[in-house]
Amino acid sequence: MFISLLPLKKYRFAGVLLGLFLASNVMAQNCQSYRAKYHCPVDKRFQLHLSFDDGVGSVTPQILDVLKRERIPATFFILGNKVDCQPYRNSCSQGNQQKCQSLKRCQQRRQTLKRIKREGHLIGSHSYQHHRHSQLSPAELHRTIKRSKQILQPFFTTTPAPFRLPYGDGWFNQKKAPQVIRALTQQGFTHIGWEMSGFDWNKKNQVGTKILDNVMKQMCSGRNGTVLLHDGVFENEHEGRVFTAKHLAEWIPVLRCVADFVPLQHFNKKLKPLR
């Protein structure tokens, strides 16, 4: 029995090898055409880190599924008010049924937040509310950063903890508004900007391959670093950036043609593991 099965096994193995060879050949040819399409240097490879803002959103689990399958480390910049369930708990206990539904959704978002950490991604703060921080009074600025820290502290895994300012406001214009970065530093954060953006927040880009095109064009023009995408919508407590979550899996093989996915620490050496 064993002897008669052996040749069959051999053929099957050869078949698998041939299949893998053909698949990698097709991918290599595709990669050549993508390099040509985006005017990428022929042999250059880039380093890329994916980051997602404005979550936790309803689509964050979908994004986590893709990252897990593809073994890609990412950073999620969380809005503190999306995972602060206490206000809903108070209203729910007073009998407000709508708030009870909101509480349930908030608790689900906290479960997702735990999953982000469990699956080895970095968690950073996107502040407590999506304000333009350079326009806040000193007291408000201090309060919103501190409140996000209180909520997210159990989920941080580095020191300093990463922080990304909403709209980049206080980072782009730090010469004009130095108080914002100063306040972050005082509270133990380091600001993480971005080198590339998918501009996926803009509805005009949520069609075809525009978001992928944006990232590929920026990268192939010679940039390494962190790319800004979104898994949440700051105006609404439970919506996600549906388009990005839906198409991320299609973009990854194209990005992989020219880039390796690296952890944030690859670019930010001062992020040390929290002990």
**Contact status: 198 vs Zn ion (CB under 5 A):** no
CB of 53 or CB of 237, closer to Zn ion: 53
Give the residue from 275, 49, 273, 48 showing the smallest Cα distance to 161. Answer: 273
How many residues lie near Zn ion (CB under 5 A)? 3
Choose, by CB under 5 A, the member of 124, 166, 198, 240 that binds Zn ion.
Answer: 166
**Contact status: 200 vs Zn ion (CB under 5 A):** no
Among the residue ranges 54-62, 101-109, 135-143, 190-198, the one whose residues contact Zn ion (CB under 5 A): 54-62
Among the residue ranges 33-41, 47-55, 93-101, 149-157, the one whose residues contact Zn ion (CB under 5 A): 47-55
Tokens of 190: 């380091």
Using CA atoms, how far residue 70 sits from 65, 183, 212, 256, in Å, is: 9, 37, 17, 10
**Structural Rg of the chain based on CA atoms:** 22
Among the residue ranges 13-21, 44-52, 108-116, 163-171, the one whose residues contact Zn ion (CB under 5 A): 163-171
Residue 172 φ then ψ, to 5°: -55, -45
**Contact status: 84 vs Zn ion (CB under 5 A):** no
CB of 200 or CB of 219, closer to Zn ion: 200
**Contact status: 231 vs Zn ion (CB under 5 A):** no
Question: Alpha-carbon distance 131 to 207, whole Å?
Answer: 28
**Contact status: 80 vs Zn ion (CB under 5 A):** no
Could you give the angle at which helices 210-220 and 2-37 cross, rounded to 10 degrees? 80
Q: Estimate to the nearest angstrom the gap between the alpha carbon of 142 and the chain centroid.
A: 25
**Contact status: 160 vs Zn ion (CB under 5 A):** no
Using CB under 5 A as the criterion, which residues of the chain lie in contact with Zn ion when the complex forms?
53-54, 166
